[in-house]
Amino acid sequence: MDRANHSVVSEVVFLGLSNSWEIQLVLFVFSSMFYVASIMGNSLIVLTVTSDPHLHSPMYFLLANLSFIDLGISSVISPKTMYDLLRNRKVISFGGCIAQIFFIHATGGVEMVLLIAMAFDRYVAICKPLHYFTIMGPKMCIFLQVAAWIIGLTHSVIQLVSVMKLPFCGPNVIDSFYCDLPRFIKLACIDTYRLEFMVTANSGFISLGSFFILIISYLFILTTAWKHSSGGSSKALSTLSTHIMVMILFFGPCIFVYTWSHPSSHLDKFLAFFDGVLTPFLNPVIYTFRNKEMKMAMRRVCSQLIVNRRIS
C-alpha cells in the first residue's frame, strides 16, 4: 500500500452527539462545567499529595498518578468536543485524529493498570498490614508507575501500527464526536472486518480482563476485611468502597463500547461522553468527599496558597 493512498483523506468529519442545537448547547454547558471542575479537582489532588508530607504514602502516590492521568483523559477529548458543539461542521485533521486515538488508548491503558496497582496496594494494606511498608516501598511504587506507562503506551502503539498501514482514499465521516478507533478503521478502502475484530477484541479483552482481575481482588480483600472486622477495618472498607466506585465508573462505559454488538447506537456515544467528561470529574470528588485525611490536607494547601498570595 503506497503512501499516496493516505494523503487523499486530509480531514475527518464528525457527525457529533446530536443534530439539535438546543441539546448541543446543553451538552456544551454541561461539558464545560465538568471539564473545568475536573482540571481544578485533579490538579488540586496532585498538588496536595506532592506538597503535604502527611500524604507521602503509597496509596496517595498512586492516587496522584491517577489524577494526573485523569487530567490527560479529560483533555484529550473535552476541549475539541466543546469546540465542535458550537460549530455546524465538526472536523479534525487526519493527523489530529491519529494523535487523539493514540492518547485515548495510552491514557486509558495507563489508568487500567493504575487501578489494578491501587487494588494491589489495598490488598497489601489489609491482608498483610505488618509487611505493608516493606512490600509497598518507594521502589515498588516507581515500578508500578513505570509499568503502567509502559503497558499503556505499548497497548496504544499496537493498536495504531496496523491502522497506519491502511489505505484511506475517500470516506471521511465518522458517526461520533471523537476519533473512535473501530469507526475510524471503517473509513479504509479495503475490507477491515478482521482488523475491526482484532482491535475490538484487544481493547475488549484488556477492559474485561482488568475488570475481572479487580473484581476478584476486591472480593478477596473485602472477605479478609470482613473476617477481621474492627474500627480500622471499617476505615479500610470505606476506602475500598471508593476504589470500587471509581473502578465501575471507568470500566462500565469502556466494556460496553468495546463489547456491544451494535456500535451504530447512540447509547455508546453518550457513554463515551460520560467516560471522557464526567468520570475524570467524579474521581477526585469520590476520593475527596470520602477521605477525611485528603479533605484536611486540601484545606491546609488552600490555606497556604491564600496566605502566600496575600504576602505577595
The rounded mean pLDDT for the chain is 83
Residue entry with cell 474492627: 230
Contact 145, 110 (CB under 8 A): no
Q: Which residue has the higher pLDDT, 58 or 264?
A: 58
Q: Which residue has the higher pLDDT, 157 or 285?
A: 157
Quick one: CA torsion of 47, 217, 105, 161, rounded to 10 degrees? 140
The string of DSSP codes covering 96-132 is: HHHHHHHHHHHHHHHHHHHHHHHHHHHHHHHHSGGGH
> Each residue of 83-113: pLDDT tens digit?
999 988 899 998 899 999 999 999 989 998 9
Is 146 exposed, middle or buried, given 0-12, 13-18 or 19+ CB atoms closer than 10 A?
exposed
Q: Which segment of 2-6, 261-265, 272-276 scores lowest on mean pLDDT?
A: 2-6
Contact 151, 105 (CB under 8 A): no
Judge whether residue 6 has pLDDT over 50: no
Rounded alpha-carbon distances, angstroms, from residue 302 to 287, 288, 290: 17, 14, 19
Dist. CA 167–CA 176, nearest whole Å: 21
Dist. CA 52–CA 78, nearest whole Å: 30
Residue closest to 176 by CA, chosen among 166, 187, 167? 187
Question: Which pLDDT score is estimated for 158?
Answer: 86
> Each residue of 230-257: pLDDT tens digit?
555 556 666 677 777 777 877 877 777 6
> Each residue of 139-185: pLDDT tens digit?
999 999 999 999 999 989 988 887 888 888 878 898 889 988 888 88
Can you give the three-state secondary structure of 34-59, one letter per residue? HHHHHHHHHHHHHHHHHHCHHHCCHH
Question: Which pLDDT score is estimated for 229?
Answer: 60
Kindly state the cell numbers that stand for 200. Answer: 475490538
| pLDDT (average), residues 192-208 | 78
Residue closest to 105 by CA, chosen among 146, 163, 64? 163
> Each residue of 35-50: pLDDT tens digit?
999 999 999 999 999 9
Please report which helix (H) or strand (E) contains residue 11, including its range.
strand 11-14
Dist. CA 194–CA 183, nearest whole Å: 14
Residue closest to 159 by CA, chosen among 106, 92, 93, 95? 106
The string of DSSP codes covering 84-98 is: HHT-SSEEEEHHHHH
> What pTM, to 2 d.p., does this model score?
0.85
Quick one: CA torsion of 33, 34, 36, 40, rounded to 10 degrees? 130
Question: Which pLDDT score is estimated for 66?
Answer: 92
Residue closest to 103 by CA, chosen among 152, 43, 148? 152
- Give the CB-side neighbour count of residue 311, counting CA atoms within 13 A: 6
Contact 155, 181 (CB under 8 A): no
- Hey, is 174 helix, strand or coil? strand
Question: Which pLDDT score is estimated for 238?
Answer: 65
| pLDDT (average), residues 273-282 | 84
Contact 282, 193 (CB under 8 A): no
Question: Which pLDDT score is estimated for 80?
Answer: 93
C-alpha gyration radius of the chain: 21
Confidence of residue 19 (pLDDT cuts 50, 70, 90): confident
Confidence of residue 5 (pLDDT cuts 50, 70, 90): very low
Give the whole-number percent of the chain exceeding pLDDT 90: 32
| pLDDT (average), residues 298-307 | 82
Contact 214, 189 (CB under 8 A): no
Kindly state the cell numbers that stand for 134. Answer: 516493606
- Hey, is 13 helix, strand or coil? strand
